[in-house]
C-alpha cells in the first residue's frame, strides 16, 4: 500500500506559477511510476505528467508541455509538479497517483486505470 498526500494548490492569476508537492509513504519502493492527473468539473480525469522513478523517463500531456515540469526527490519520497505560465484552462483538482508493482505500460501512462493509488487532490484555480 502507498499513501499519497498532495499540497501546494491555490489561486493564481493567468501567467502565474504554482508548485505542487506529493508526499509518498508506505511501500513506495514498489511504485516505480508516479504521475499527476487533473480533473475539471464535468470532465474526465486526465493525465498531466508521469515519471518512471528508476530511470527518470518523463512524459507530458501536450497541453502542458513546455509549461509544467515533473520532478522527484527520492530522499524525501516526494513528487513535484512545477506549473508555470498558468492558464484559466489549467483550473482543476490535481491528483497525485502511484502505480503498483506491476508498473505501467509506458504508452498508457495517461490512463487513470493504470494507477491504483491516489491522493486526495489539491485545487488549482487560475483566473484570467
Average per-residue pLDDT for the chain: 96
Give the confidence band of 87 by pLDDT, cuts at 50, 70, 90: very high
Q: Does position 31 have pLDDT exceeding 90, yes or no?
A: no
Rounded average pLDDT over 90-117:
95
Question: What local confidence, expressed as pLDDT, does residue 28 receive?
Answer: 87
Question: What local confidence, expressed as pLDDT, does residue 34 receive?
Answer: 97
Question: What local confidence, expressed as pLDDT, does residue 13 receive?
Answer: 98
Question: What local confidence, expressed as pLDDT, does residue 120 receive?
Answer: 98
Question: What local confidence, expressed as pLDDT, does residue 21 receive?
Answer: 98
The 10s digit of each residue's pLDDT in 39-69 is 999 999 999 999 998 888 999 999 999 999 9
Longest dimension (CA), the chain: 42
SS3 string of the chain?
CEEEEEECCEEEECCCCEEEEEEEEECHHHCCEEEEEEECCCCCCEEEEEEECCCCEEEECCCCCCCEEEEEEHHHCEEEEEECCCCHHHCEEEEEEECCCCCCCHHHCCCHHHCCEECCCEEEEEEC
- Give the whole-number percent of the chain exceeding pLDDT 90: 89
Question: What local confidence, expressed as pLDDT, does residue 79 receive?
Answer: 97
Give the confidence band of 29 by pLDDT, cuts at 50, 70, 90: confident
Amino acid at each position: 500500500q502507498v499513501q499519497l498526500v498532495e499540497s501546494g494548490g491555490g489561486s493564481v492569476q493567468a501567467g502565474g506559477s504554482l508548485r505542487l508537492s506529493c508526499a509518498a509513504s508506505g511501500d513506495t519502493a514498489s511504485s516505480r511510476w508516479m504521475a499527476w492527473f487533473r480533473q475539471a468539473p464535468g470532465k474526465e480525469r486526465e493525465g498531466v505528467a508521469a515519471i518512471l522513478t528508476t530511470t527518470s523517463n518523463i512524459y507530458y500531456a501536450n497541453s502542458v508541455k513546455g509549461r509544467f515540469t515533473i520532478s522527484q526527490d527520492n530522499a524525501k519520497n516526494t513528487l513535484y509538479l512545477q506549473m508555470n505560465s498558468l492558464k484559466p484552462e489549467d483550473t482543476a483538482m490535481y491528483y497525485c497517483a502511484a502505480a503498483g508493482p506491476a508498473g505501467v505500460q509506458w504508452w498508457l501512462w495517461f490512463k487513470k486505470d493504470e494507477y491504483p493509488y491516489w491522493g486526495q487532490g489539491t485545487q488549482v484555480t487560475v483566473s484570467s
